[in-house]
Amino acid sequence: MSIVKTGTPRESAPRAVCVDPLSGILQPGFDRSHIALDKFGTRSFVLFDPELIRHCFVANSANYHQAEARKRLAEPLLGESILTADGEQSRKVRQTIGRLFNRQALDRYSARMIETTLQNLDDLAPGVHAASDLAARLALANLSASLFSNALDARSPDILAALDGVYDAMWGLPLVGEEGGVTYYPRLRRKERNEAAAAFRAVLGDIISDRLGRPADAGRSDLLDQLIALRKAQPGGNPTLERMIDDVATFVVAGHETTASVVAWTLYLLSQDARALQRARDEAEVVIHGGIAPEHWPEHLTFTLACVEETQRLYPPAPIFTRQAQKDDIAGGIAIPAGSIVLLPVRLIHRMQRFWTQPDRFMPERFLPQNRGRIGQFSFLPFGLGPRMCIGSAFGNREAIILVAAILSRFDLSYAGATPPVPELKFVMRSDNGIPMRLSAR
């Protein structure tokens, strides 16, 4: 089992931020339930204790809405999706959309995902590729094939280029300066971010207008149709194109960049661990060459799924979530005044010695079915928790194992970077160098 080098904060990061009061939490003895900070101009509570987390994110989640600062960060890109709005409305919308993400639906998508991925890999020449770009391209193609009846395909280069522009306009500052435990929060070049976000939204506007201009297809009820129908069913009933773009943008961003991040980091971690790589490759051989029906791939890719989940532990695509208290609250005896921010530092929790043995080690075996029972309910949270938990979690995992297995079946891989990739939070967890991987034909 190798110890994966996880990189250190950039030297240019201000020291004041590096020497953060949170840095002690990765020490073995750390056992505090929370840390209170007045650092961001408002009172913030960083939560570690499972009971506090359960209280704020599940039991009393109605009191904790999306933080205003987070909403402002996302607004130029995502607007105000009906799905992510706080309150009862979003619960109903999630119920309707949830049908597109249940087990039967996922089994149907599997065949399309496999076909789409293998076709895309047919066109991929061996050589050095940025794993992040490759994974983003494949994940968007799968999203389009599974949930949008391929409606995104013709414009996917525009979508990817515009989103790259958005992420490039953000750069990460380390919130916690600790080897292996760096959590970044984004800073912005606002003008560039807004221009790129507008370009992204314009492309989605074209795609939605095209769908609205076509006669309804009786055999089709994909996510795009459903999002349009849900928006039309809102009070007022005559939504603007902008509001429809909000809903579609939320899914396109949430639904491909996250999975792409996991796939890229999984390839990197596997490239550092020959034994795990071989075991994942053996599974890939079985599904690709063993005539396994697409819906049965997950049963044969248990180690690959364990690698994906271990990667989500070490490099969660959403490393920190924030909420804002609407009213005064008492959580586990702590007074949380209205307006306070509560932070769930997922990336740190995933590395705490209190919850994990050898937390910086890539050990996929932790996630094999026979070991899973040892993982605490609140110590592994890559998809969040409570009513806002990721609606696409099963979709994302299914897609990630298909992408990893397909890539391993076609290529030998080795890391081609001079230094280990450094994680950077740019809306989702990305890396400083795109994770260059040498792919050699097998």
The three-state DSSP-derived secondary structure of the chain is: CCECCCCCCCCCCCHHHHCCHHHHHHCCCCCCCEEEECCCCCCEEEECCHHHHHHHHHHCHHHEEECHHHHHHHHHHHCCCCCCCCCHHHHHHHHHHHHHHCHHHHHHHHHHHHHHHHHHHHCCCCEEEEHHHHHHHHHHHHHHHHHCCCCCHHHHHHHHHHHHHHHHCEEEEECCCCCCCCCEEEEECHHHHHHHHHHHHHHHHHHHHHHHCCCCCCCCCCHHHHHHHHHHCCCCCCCCHHHHHHHHHHHHHHHHHHHHHHHHHHHHHHHCCHHHHHHHHHHHHHHHHCCCCHHHHHHHCHHHHHHHHHHHHHCCCCCCEEEEECCCEEECCEEECCCCEEEECHHHHCCCCCCCCCCCECCHHHHCHHHHCCCCCCCCCCCCCHHHCCCCHHHHHHHHHHHHHHHHHHEEEEECCCCCCCEEEECEEEECCCCEEEEEEC
Sole binder of ligand HEM in the list 18, 52, 67, 83 (CB under 6 A)? 83
CB of 441 to ligand HEM, least distance (A): 28
Sole binder of ligand HEM in the list 47, 208, 262, 348 (CB under 6 A)? 262
Q: Is residue 391 near ligand HEM by the rule CB under 6 A?
A: yes
CB of 385 to ligand HEM, least distance (A): 8
Residues in 25-44 that interact with ligand HEM by CB under 6 A: none
Q: Is residue 54 near ligand HEM by the rule CB under 6 A?
A: no
Q: Is residue 266 near ligand HEM by the rule CB under 6 A?
A: no
CB of 395 to ligand HEM, least distance (A): 4
Stretch that binds ligand HEM, among 107-115, 206-214, 257-265, 328-336 (CB under 6 A): 257-265
Q: Is residue 298 near ligand HEM by the rule CB under 6 A?
A: no
Q: Is residue 390 near ligand HEM by the rule CB under 6 A?
A: yes
CB of 172 to ligand HEM, least distance (A): 17
Stretch that binds ligand HEM, among 1-9, 11-19, 26-34, 315-323 (CB under 6 A): 315-323
Sole binder of ligand HEM in the list 200, 265, 378, 395 (CB under 6 A)? 395
Q: Is residue 392 near ligand HEM by the rule CB under 6 A?
A: yes
CB of 262 to ligand HEM, least distance (A): 5
Q: Is residue 317 near ligand HEM by the rule CB under 6 A?
A: yes
- According to DSSP, the residues that pair with 440 across neighbouring strands are 412
386 vs 434, which CB is nearer to ligand HEM? 386
18 vs 46, which CB is nearer to ligand HEM? 46
135 vs 182, which CB is nearer to ligand HEM? 135
18 vs 100, which CB is nearer to ligand HEM? 100
331 vs 390, which CB is nearer to ligand HEM? 390
Residues in 320-379 that interact with ligand HEM by CB under 6 A: 321
Residue ranges in contact with ligand HEM by CB under 6 A: 83-84, 90, 94, 250-251, 254-255, 258-259, 262, 312, 317-318, 321, 382-384, 388, 390-392, 395-396, 400
